[in-house]
Amino acid sequence: MTCPSLSASDIFAANEAFVLSRADLDNRRPRDLHVQDFYEMIWVQNGQVRLHTDSTPRDLTEGHLVFVAPDQRHAIQGRGEAALVVSVAIRPGVVRALGNRHEDLTGFAFWSGGSTPFVTHRDMRQLADLNAAALRLERSPRDKLYLEAFLLPLLTALDRPPEQMADGAPDWLIAACAAARDPALFQKGAAGFVDHCGRAHPHVSRTMRRYMGQTPVAYITGLRMAYAARRLTGTADSLTEIAADCGLPNLSHFHKTFFAAFGETPQKYRKARQRDLVQPRL
């Protein structure tokens, strides 16, 4: 099978950092896979799409988001009526610069390093946010500044494995850990986290010990205390409010848990990072 190649010189005008386009897809199977020397982000806005690569074809539905790196062989095919996708083609230098500045992007999205495109999914609310951001991008100058303003909030919002997670962790655990950053979930404690995983508690515990070296209780406690620390530093909210929002309404238990995590009482932690930081006693 031949492999046609698309070039940035044919896609971008001289000063363009990106090109945003929308396409109603043809339902015919692509004759060939193709490669390109630029990056591209594609998401399914409506209908069903089939992603062809050197491996098994993958069917995508509304909300699927695909990150294509240079030289990854692929093709897109519509499936049924009204298959609509949005594409943002990006100059290689922009993506390389982002990766150089943010090491935690390694192994993720454009920086996954695999031979096939990286695929993730946005729910309906997240897809609406993505489409709103794309509309702002579409109306902006095609400069790097506006492109980065579009990319960075998206990249930080995507499901990404925690730093302490080993390679090979299942997608359901990665997704649950990403969701657990939301106070609405970690307020429910380890039981709420396990429910979100959709697996039996012993299975979740074994999997977390294998890939993260900790239990669901320890993981949720860490998220709660990190959140409490941010609230103590950045707000004037009472300890009662903060403890309740962490899902630990018992103040005595909250104090003990916070001290175990940071070696300081919540009051001392707040004072050192609020007034003493802004008005140090030198």
Q: Which of 105, 110, 124, 116 is nearest to 44 (CA)?
A: 124
pLDDT at 192: 96
Domain boundaries, the chain: 5-157, 171-278
Q: What is the CATH number of domain 5-157?
A: 2.60.120.810
Q: What are phi and psi of 231, to 5 degrees?
A: -65, -40
The pLDDT assigned to 164 comes to 84
In the predicted model, residues of the chain with pLDDT beneath 50 are: 1
Phi, psi angle pair for 73, to nearest 5°: -70, 130
Asked if 97 contacts 45 with a C-beta cutoff of 8 angstroms, the reply is: no
Fold type of domain 171-278: Arc Repressor Mutant, subunit A (1.10.10)
Per-residue pLDDT, 274 = 80
**Nearest residue to 76 (alpha-carbon basis) of 117, 36, 29, 111:** 29
Query: Among 56, 63, 9, 55, which Cα is nearest to 36's?
Result: 9
CB 137 within 8 A of CB 146: yes
- Reported as a single tens digit per residue, the pLDDT across 187-217 is 999 999 999 999 999 999 999 999 999 999 9
End-to-end CA distance of the chain: 72
Q: Cα separation of 62 and 115, whole Å?
A: 24
The residues near 94 (Cβ < 8 Å, ≥ 6 apart) are 17, 18, 39, 144, 147, 148
**Number of C-beta neighbours around residue 186 at 10 A:** 24
Q: Per residue in 138-196, pLDDT tens?
A: 999 999 999 999 999 999 888 778 888 888 889 899 989 988 999 999 999 999 999 99
**How much is the pTM?**
0.77
Please report, for residues 142, 235, 248, the alpha-carbon distance to residue 86 in angstroms, rounded to integers and kept in the order given: 16, 40, 43
Both tokens assigned to 179:
């969701």
**Sign of the dihedral defined by the CA atoms of residues 271, 275, 281, 282, in that order:** positive
209-218 long-range contacts (CB < 8 A, ≥24 apart) are: 210/166, 211/165, 211/166, 211/168, 211/169, 211/173, 212/162, 212/164, 212/165, 212/166, 212/169, 213/164, 214/164, 215/190, 216/190, 217/189, 217/190
3-state secondary structure of 156: helix
**Burial of 150: CB neighbours in 10 Å, binned 0-12, 13-18, 19+:** buried
